[in-house]
Structure 1
Amino acid sequence: MSQQLLANCNGLCLAAIILLVGGIALASNQIDIDEDLRHLIGRCHRDQASDGDYNDCMKQVFNDLRAYFPTGVPAYNIKPFDPHHASFVELRRGDPHGPGSFKLILRNVSEYGWTRSEVTKFHSDVEDQRIVYAQYFPQKSLEGEYEFAAKMLGTQMKRQGHWNLTLYDYSQTTSVRRVGAPGSLLKVHVEVDRIGGMELHIGNLLQGQPLNQLADGVINSMWQVGLPFVRPMINELVSTAFTDIFNESFRHFPLEKFVNQS
């Protein structure tokens, strides 16, 4: 059963491993990439008594290899993941020709904190070609550039500038599913589970430095009140970015080289 589970995982389990370890083979020039991957997979299908044992093993693999997040695996075109980068993410709401709408574009986003993260749960769904894992971050930080345009009752607003965000005591759940045969697209959905603390700065949000400082103060003191309303938009932004990252690195990963080998 465990070997069948691994074979049917269809690349997602391996992709998640590599995403989380961020580069298995570059810690030493003597390490062989393929041998490491075979060994890594073998840990989680050899002599496993149940699906639960397999899931626990996968969770432990993720956490054993956190030190390699910053390196990436250039041999398989897998980029570093601490920090990881998203060049463009867009969110739109409303009809631009109607009474109200807005568009938010984030560019050159860098995200830090993955090396200190911990996977707390892992689950694989063979029939749906899906893996789901929960992850905890004591601290995660992001920064980049933004462009914001809004229209409300005929009034136009446009802003752009630098932004940075730090999250404390933060957890999220990530679901990764392949939508077809091997080589087809991967779909990623991220849900924010908990934010214990937050610090956000948005440059040029209001005109003038004193007003910007005031806006930062209001946002950072009132974010818990607004979180239920903005959480769906955060989930959408992060899911869009991670779908691009997964497909760029893992869509064509040569899984056949590593499955069903002991």
Structure 2
Amino acid sequence: MDPWNLEDVHLNQTSHDLKFMNIRESSWRNSTIEEFKSSLSPDLPQYVQFTQFVPEYFIEGNFKAFGKQIEGFQEGKWNLTLYNMTRTLAISRHQLDPAKFKVKQSIHEVENMKVFVGDLPDATPSSENFDNLILNSFWKVTLPVFKPILEELLDVAYSRKYWELFGNLDWDKVFSSAPEMSS
């Protein structure tokens, strides 16, 4: 699963829509699980939750942004690397369709961030370099802008990816005799 690829994810934000295409993510290979909880009893809401430390998290792709604040649309390429990130992922059955998964991600800590946004229409290489220099120089200020978008992107992407990987698995049979786990 590392790296994984996904064709596209569409996010509906309040003031604009974002479409991410040709997404590639890498982070799992060198990560460590710091905490794990689960509830697999059929009588309770079933979930798996874990907190993960990721020394280097990388995601890249193409994007299109549509909206009132963005004249027409903007499109380009992007990549984002987060260093020494701690996050929690909660995986549960989807309430409306129990055969599907719902993934919720929360990013807790990030020690450093590098971002690149490029190939923008009407942008010169020097203006792109300047914009990326500003984003990276003030990453602690720009992270709150990227964090909710990244969390939502990954919630949708992981939900879809887990469905692709494990959707045909008979979870009731797998977990019918599984003990509760916590560490």
Q: Which structure shows the bigger proportion of residues in helix conformation? A: 1
Deviations 1:120-143 (A, max 9, x none): 100012421011101111111111
Task: Name the amino acid aligned to 1:84.
Answer: W
The reply on whether 1:151 has 2:68 as its aligned counterpart is yes
CA contact (8 A) 1:87 1:109 kept: yes
Check if 1:90 corresponds to 2:16.
Answer: no
Counting matched residue pairs gives 173
2:127 to 207, 211, 226: 211
Quickly say closer, same or farther: Cα 1:150–1:204, change in 2 above 3 A. farther
Report the CA distance between 1:228 and its aligned residue: 2.9
Quote how far apart the aligned CAs of 1:175 are: 0.4
Q: Deviations over 1:221-253 (max 9, x none)?
A: 112113234422221111011111111221221
- TM-aligned CA distance change 1:258 to 1:233, over 3 Å: closer
2:47 to 114, 130, 133: 130
- Root-mean-square deviation over aligned CA pairs: 2.3
Alignment partners' CA distance in 1, 2:57 and 2:95 = 33
Structure 1: gaps spanning 5 or more residues: 1-80, 95-100
Identity, % of aligned pairs?
A: 26
Match of 1:231 in 2: 147
After TM superposition, the score normalised by the length of structure 2 is 0.84
2:138 corresponding residue in structure 1: 222
- Give the aligned partner of residue 111 of structure 1: 25
Secondary structure, in 3 states, of the residue corresponding to 1:219? helix
TM-score (norm 1): 0.60
Please give the secondary structure, in 1, of the residue aligned with 2:2: coil
SS at match of 1:238: helix
Kindly indicate which of the two structures has a greater share of residues assigned to strand.
Answer: 2
State the match for 1:242 in structure 2. 158
Determine whether 1:199 maps to 2:119.
no
Residue ranges of structure 2 left out of the alignment (5+ in a row): 179-183
Deviations, residues 1-45 of structure 1 (Å, cap 9, x unaligned): xxxxxxxxxxxxxxxxxxxxxxxxxxxxxxxxxxxxxxxxxxxxx
Distance 1:257 1:170, change over 3 A: closer
